[in-house]
A and B are shown apart, each in its own frame.
Chain A
Amino acid sequence: MLTPLEPATAEELAAAVAAAEGPLELRGHGSKRDFGRPVQASQLLDLSRLSGVTLYEPDELVLSAGAGTPVAEIERLLTANGQILAFEPPDLGPLFGQEAGRGTLGGMIACNLAGPRRIKAGALRDYLLGATAVNGRGEIFKTGGRVMKNVTGYDLCKLLAGSFGTLAAIASATLKVLPAPEAVRTLMVRGLGDPAAMLLMSRAMVSAEDVSGAAHLPEAAARCLPHADVGTAVTLLRLEGTPRSVAQRLAMLAKELESPSEELGEIESTVLWRGLRNLLPFRGDHGAAIWRLSVPPTAGADVLRACGPVERCFYDWGGGLIWLTTAAEGDAGAARIRAALSASGGHATLVRAPIAIRASAEVFQPQEPALAALTRRVKESFDPLGRFNPGRMYAGA
């Protein structure tokens, strides 16, 4: 490996890319460097020096910062102003054996991860208003702007989000921010089997009570919660808003659901949902392979059952997001897990596994031929020479 490139400005970044002689591994803090297929790069492109908040106008709901800005710094600034990143980005660092609280804006964008509030507020890609980036030719291009309503030209921001650094090196980005909810409470129902939990969560989501988090932890996963009894599953519904509104809706929801439930207060709720967002049920389990499945919410339990035996698992997004762990051997269960999706549709991503498994099993859901070809062509349109994280998502792309 050659010495790392450490540009401090967009121009330096462009020059570095233009001058690069071989493939580059893009990295912010490296908190998620092991997420994706292994990348054979000849040089590291370290983007952490492109750091700093350059614009923050709370009453315009907009914030711009360099791609190397720590997410923690952004979140601190927002909290101080009563605002949040509504999509609740998970901190996956600890999962990969890194410190907590690491991770940059660029990395967050590249992985497009979203926490429990996705069911109401959307994902990161719904909050990325604009970006300045460098393509594989070493050219700086900008896309989007700093306003919410913008349909000028192709929405390349959507492509950048979730592209795992394979399309462009982001220099800076502009995000939409929202006011933080004034109050939060959680309704907890104990002892539901997975199918019953899917139904309950669906009813909650379909109700008029504006639920902003719906998760189900089967017994093994529920052990991670401080107030759970050993041996019971726990289903959790979050309500946010003004204090009186939350209190009233909680009461209405409890009545509508017809299952006995308990209420968790403000602090308990905040801690709980932060924990779920950061995959608390998997804390401490460093060896297992971790899968993330996105499915139609009502199909959650059926899909999980069809996956066959798993070590630990829990549901988020009302059943539409399944996190599960399997033994880190063979294909880590890839064949049977992907087969489990055939009836419902959706996709499965191997988030964490030893490098050997990630090299052989498909990390991201394999695509139909026409779509795969289109994906390759899109990659080429940004990065014809394959400079950026080659093979990070798919072989040859």
Chain B
Amino acid sequence: MRMPEPDQAAIARRAEIALALRRILPAESVIEDGEARRAYESDGLTAYRQPPLVVALPSTTAEVAAVLRYCHENRLKVVPRGAGTSLSGGALPLADGVLLGMAKFNRVLDVDIANRAAVVQPGVTNLAISQAVAPAGFYYAPDPSSQIACTIGGNVAENSGGVHCLKYGMTGNNLLGLEMVLINGEVVRLGGRHLDAGGYDLMGVVTGSEGLLGVVTEVTVRILRRPSTQRALLLGFASCEDAGECVAKVIAAGIIPAGMEMMDKPAIHAAEDFVAAGYPRDAEALLIVELDGPVVEVDELIARVEQIAKACGSTSERVSRDEAERQRFWAGRKAAFPAVGRISPDYYCMDGTIPRRRLPEVLAKMQAMSRACGLRVANVFHAGDGNLHPLILYDANKPGELETAEAFGADILRLCVAVGGVLTGEHGVGVEKRDLMGEMFNETDLAQQERLKCAFDSEGLLNPGKMFPVLHRCAELGRMHVSAGKLPFPELPRF
């Protein structure tokens, strides 16, 4: 995976740039020292590292606008960063780019229960939003596994999902409004506390735009009343086929659980070693099904799901008896990714989506690939919506293993697309899957997306090198016509 060649002229001007930024921000908020910059060189995808040109830590919308205006005027690249927990390299810095850290924007501004809305700054963590509205019996539904640390601004950039998005949707389905700063420093407000935003759904396209269209400085989210009951079932199966069949039958029965997760044996063991939730160690596949809503409905549905599971050959069934137990059922699943860090020095977390019914076939093919390349793989799967998280275990200190892991990962994603799925369900394209975009989109598809980018950022200064495999200049895109699959402007960089 190659990043764009850094602009040496920009790097040569580092001191001058830092000085200019210190006229906008307090001195402490501009980080220039090499050792300090290196600590920012990666996000959650540690395979790729690049220390930024300079780190800027603004704390107001006005400061963000001023910083972006300065960068725009001086043709400097900008990489926005929340908590830096991205698993796709979305917050990977550029050696010639300003890293714009948004972690100082950590205040909850308003909780408006009557309108079921909360207005927060983008650096507020996902979980902190739920905590802020908890006293009123409310919560913020999308719950990515990193919710303790990931920021809502980052969630917007990646359109993060989580276990409960099966029933409650992803970030984009739970946003009411955004304030965003464009690369030229203009501030736009999209939506608000009203339900329909009006005009083009710019908020919809900015969600999941991975920091390429603008920098979000305020977020209005939809909050929901906590369901009166939440209960979870822990279902063990002797095979992934059986578990997959159970999932299909539950949906076919007209039941949409709040969450439906599957883990395979290696994942079960890793998680169980970390939090003793009582996962059945002998099961080949584990289904964690959560049902929420009014008590009488949940009780009814739990019974129905248990019945369906038994009909599909479940080997064990446990229902949570209280809230503490329900949390314990989930704790292992939610910490599954880093818990795998206990059984392997490094892991590579993949993220693809497939039509649910193709899961057994995909798992079987992955096992074959695993045997062929000699790297273990543990699987965590959002069974309800087909989003798959294979965790490829490797050791970066062993030469060649990182490359093998990446190749294995790419093959998995190609397989996902081949069976009718997509490259990424919730982690984003970032740098990780950038070079695979061609598996899903042809040149015309990509050109249309890049033209949209030009409407927001014609100089291509926001997060370049992410998401798209070819850097087109906007003027070129305007005149570009792809004919017979041949790409014009062959001299433009392709990674």
Contacts and interface: CB of A to CB of B under 8 A. Distances in A.
Nearest to A128: B204
B195 A147 contact: no
Interface string A301-329: 00000000000000001001100000000
B451 A381 contact: yes
B445 interface: yes
A346 interface: yes
Interface in B384-421: 385-387, 420-421
Given A60-B355, A147-B422, A147-B425, A381 B169 contact: no
A162 B433 CA distance: 30
A147 B353 contact: yes
A245 B192 contact: no
B382 A298 contact: no
Interface string A378-392: 111110100000000
A345 interface: yes
Residue among B115, B158, B423 facing the most chain A CB atoms (10 A cut-off): B115
Contacts of B208: 151, 154-155
Of listed B165, B166, B445, residue having the most chain A CB within 10 A: B445
B422 A163 contact: no
Contacts of B225: 206-208
Contacts of A22: none
Interface stretch (B24-32, B250-258, B271-279): B250-258
A30 interface: no
Of the four ranges (under 10, 10 to 19, 20 to 34, 35 or more), the interface on chain A belongs to: 35 or more
Contact of B294 (A60, A123, A135, A208): A208
Interface in A253-309: 294-298
Interface in B326-381: 353-357
Contacts of B182: 370, 374
Contacts, number: 268
Contact of A156 (B137, B186, B205, B427): B205
A179 B257 CA distance: 12
A202 to B, nearest CB: 5
B207 interface: yes
A10 to B, nearest CB: 12
A147 B421 contact: yes
Nearest to B439: A152
B297 interface: yes
B187 interface: yes
B201 A125 contact: yes
A142 B387 contact: no
Interface residues of B, number: 95
B48 interface: no
Interface in A7-59: 57-59
B248 A375 contact: no
Interface in A332-385: 344-347, 349, 364-365, 367-368, 370-371, 374-375, 377-382, 384
Interface in A35-90: 57-62, 82
Nearest to A297: B115
A216 interface: no
A56 to B, nearest CB: 13
Contacts of B467: 153
Contact of A152 (B226, B355, B429): B429
Contacts of B196: 112, 114, 123, 294, 321, 347
Nearest to A62: B355
A106 B186 CA distance: 34
Contacts of B198: 294, 346-347, 349, 364-365
B33 to A, nearest CB: 35
A145 interface: yes
A371 B188 CA distance: 6
B426 A159 contact: no
Given A367-B199, A370-B188, A378-B455, A139 B444 contact: yes
Contact of A147 (B173, B386, B444): B386
B169 A158 contact: no
Given A126-B173, A149-B353, A380 B294 contact: no
A350 B15 CA distance: 55
Contact of A145 (B204, B422, B456): B422
Contact of A377 (B187, B422, B455): B455
Contacts of B386: 147-149
Given A155-B208, A156-B452, A209-B294, A147 B192 contact: no
A321 B113 CA distance: 18
B10 interface: no
Interface in A126-156: 126, 135, 137, 139-143, 145-156
Contact of B199 (A142, A371, A382): A371
Interface in B295-310: 296-297, 300-301
Contact of B452 (A123, A154, A321, A367): A154
Interface core residue of A112, A345, A378, A380 (most chain B CB under 10 Å): A378
A178 interface: yes
B355 A245 contact: no
Contacts of A145: 353, 420-422, 440
Contacts of A206: 113-114, 116, 225
Contacts of A125: 201, 204
Nearest to B384: A148
B318 interface: no
A145 B172 CA distance: 16
B437 A152 contact: yes
Given A202-B114, A298-B114, A151 B158 contact: yes
A143 B445 contact: yes
A146 B420 contact: yes
A375 B228 CA distance: 42
A267 B4 CA distance: 63
Given A126-B169, A153-B467, A209-B294, A59 B252 contact: yes
Interface string A75-115: 00000001000000000000000000000000000001010
Contact of B172 (A155, A205, A294, A296): A155
A393 interface: yes
A368 B188 contact: yes
Interface of B: 112-117, 137, 158-159, 161, 165-166, 169-170, 172-173, 182, 186-190, 192-205, 207-209, 225-228, 248-249, 251-252, 254-256, 293-294, 296-297, 300-301, 353-357, 382, 385-387, 420-429, 433, 437, 440-441, 444-449, 451-456, 467, 478, 481-482
Given A142-B445, A364-B198, 13 more contacts: A126-B169, A151-B428, A152-B429, A153-B440, A154-B449, A159-B201, A161-B201, A162-B199, A208-B225, A244-B300, A245-B300, A296-B194, A365-B198
Closest 7 CB pairs of A and B: A158-B204, A149-B425, A245-B297, A179-B254, A347-B198, A377-B455, A296-B193
Interface of A: 57-62, 82, 112, 114, 118-119, 122-123, 125-126, 135, 137, 139-143, 145-159, 161-163, 167, 178-180, 182, 202, 205-210, 241-242, 244-245, 248-249, 252, 294-298, 317, 320-321, 344-347, 349, 364-365, 367-368, 370-371, 374-375, 377-382, 384, 393
